[in-house]
């Protein structure tokens, strides 16, 4: 099993702490001839450490490239599909928002949902509300990234920290060319990702659907960005 580089330090530190705890338990209980309890607690500590290791697993995924589709940027469950107004980047325009919640058992690597040029990136410090809270999109610690596809469609996605997550890692750089389904970051422990799409995008998922990063298409966008741009020119 391949491990993400973001987990190396945590795995090593937790391993040392758990080993020290096991030694303490061993010497305290051995004198009382509680071998069965030593075995039980040893097994629990080992299971807990393997859980930490599995959290940082980096599975091999097929990288699909399709300019008409938006793929899920993470593993998890769809918890929101609604029209929202975005004031951070789109100046109050209405967008289709898809939100995906990641539990502590999901893979927490994040991938680019589309390929293109990074037009915008910003880190926002904030609170640590539960990730499914409606205000987590605007109040929690988060990053905002906008990628413009080769067809002119701008797709915004946010990495949002949850009540457990305390650190968001992003590999994004403005003006950099990125490829669909390449890694874009990591959120440590439970968290959420919001994806903002053109209002008339064709959704391919529903609330409650389980999605897999890089493999599950969540929407079809086609040339919506180009059409919208042409309409605005005609109106002028």
Exposure string (b/e) for 166-184, b if CB count within 10 Å is 16 or more?
eebbbebeeeeebebbebb
Percent of the chain with pLDDT over 90: 47
Q: Indicate which residue of 99, 136, 137, 191 is catalytic.
A: 191
130 and 84 belong to one structural domain: yes
Name the 3-class secondary structure at 44. helix
Question: Range with the lowest mean pLDDT among 17-26, 28-37, 134-143?
Answer: 134-143
Specify the pLDDT at position 227.
Answer: 44
Would you say residue 61 lies in a domain?
no
9 and 114 belong to one structural domain: no
In this predicted model, what pLDDT tens digit does every residue of 90-127 receive, in sequence order? 999 999 999 999 888 888 899 999 999 999 999 988 66
Report residue 73's pLDDT band, with 50, 70 and 90 as the boundaries: very high
Per DSSP bridges, beta strands 177-178 and 191-198 are unpaired
Would you say residue 20 lies in a domain?
yes
94 and 37 belong to one structural domain: no
Residue 33, domain extent: 5-55
Residue 56 sits at φ, ψ, to 5 deg, of -95, 20
Would you say residue 176 lies in a domain?
yes
Among 15, 187, 167, 163, CA closest to 106: 187
Tell if the pTM clears 0.85, that is, is over it: no
Active site residue 137: no
Beta bridge partners of 157: 145, 195
43 and 88 belong to one structural domain: no
49 and 75 belong to one structural domain: no
75 and 51 belong to one structural domain: no
128 and 191 belong to one structural domain: yes
Task: Count CA within 13 A, CB hemisphere, residue 201.
Answer: 30
Tally the domains of the chain.
2
Would you say residue 63 lies in a domain?
no
């Amino acid at each position: 099993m391949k491990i993400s580089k973001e987990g190396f330090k945590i795995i090593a530190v937790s391993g040392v702490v758990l080993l020290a705890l096991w030694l303490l338990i061993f010497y305290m209980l051995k004198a009382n001839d509680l071998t069965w309890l030593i075995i039980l607690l040893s097994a629990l500590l080992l299971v807990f450490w393997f859980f930490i290791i599995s959290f940082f697993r980096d599975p091999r995924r097929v990288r699909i490239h399709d300019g008409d589709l938006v793929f899920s940027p993470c593993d998890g469950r769809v918890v929101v599909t609604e029209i929202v107004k975005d004031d951070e980047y789109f100046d109050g325009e209405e967008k289709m928002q898809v939100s995906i919640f990641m539990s502590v058992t999901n893979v927490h690597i994040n991938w680019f949902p589309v390929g293109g040029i990074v037009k915008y990136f910003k880190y926002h410090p904030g609170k640590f509300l539960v990730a499914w809270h409606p205000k987590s999109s605007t109040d929690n610690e988060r990053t905002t990234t906008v990628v413009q596809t080769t067809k002119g469609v701008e797709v915004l996605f946010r990495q949002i920290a949850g009540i457990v997550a305390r650190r968001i890692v992003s590999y994004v750089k403005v003006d950099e060319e990125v490829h669909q389904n390449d890694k874009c970051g990591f959120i440590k422990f439970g968290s959420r990702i919001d994806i903002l799409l053109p209002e008339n995008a064709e959704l391919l998922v529903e609330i409650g659907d389980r999605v897999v990063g890089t493999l599950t298409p969540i929407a079809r966008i086609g040339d919506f960005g180009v059409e919208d741009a042409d309409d605005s020119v005609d109106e002028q």
